[in-house]
Amino acid sequence: MSNFTIIDIPSSNYDSRPPDTLIDLVVIHAISLPPGKFGTGRVIDFFTNSLDPAADPYFTVIAGVKVSSHYYIERQGRVIRFVADEKRAWHAGVSHFRGRDNCNDFSLGIELEGDDFNHFSEIQYQQLNGLLKLIKINHPAVMCDRIVGHSHIAPQRKSDPGPMFDWSRIGVEFV
């Protein structure tokens, strides 16, 4: 993508991966803050620990929670990196994938601005595919069958990216 750029907005919500960890999983999430509201900038505030709990009643529920993601794709297509790939972002929580626990250890998290009730935008799918191509170049162990939703690795707790996410739109051509 000729206009594919990533904006860095650092989050402090990360730590080190275990030594010699191979990144071989991508977890796709969906988030909106407040829930169901888009374009508020509050997800950025949340991931950078600057969310004002008084700004919305829901924010008092999540006040003090420390989470992040490696990447976030807004509805208009802006791609933000919060945590460098080599670090462990706090996006998956209690999770399990193919016999391995703690998916944060070996995965990259990509948040899409969205929810379970609204379709994702065309530009989000385009940017997601561009980002996945870049990830594949930098992390060749990530294969098509290792791009999953949060609901796949934490099915008892999470539903995202949700029923409105069209998995058939993930047309990554791996080199």
Catalytic site residue from 86, 111, 113, 122: 111
Q: For residue 86, indicate whether it is catalytic.
A: no
> Which class for 48: exposed (0-12), middle (13-18), buried (19 or more C-beta within 10 A)?
middle
The three-class DSSP label of residue 168 is: helix
CA terminus-to-terminus distance, the chain: 15
CA distances from 86 to 38, 41, 49, 135, 138 (A): 29, 26, 21, 12, 11
Q: How many CB atoms lie within 10 A of CB 150?
A: 25
By annotation, the residues acting in catalysis are: 111
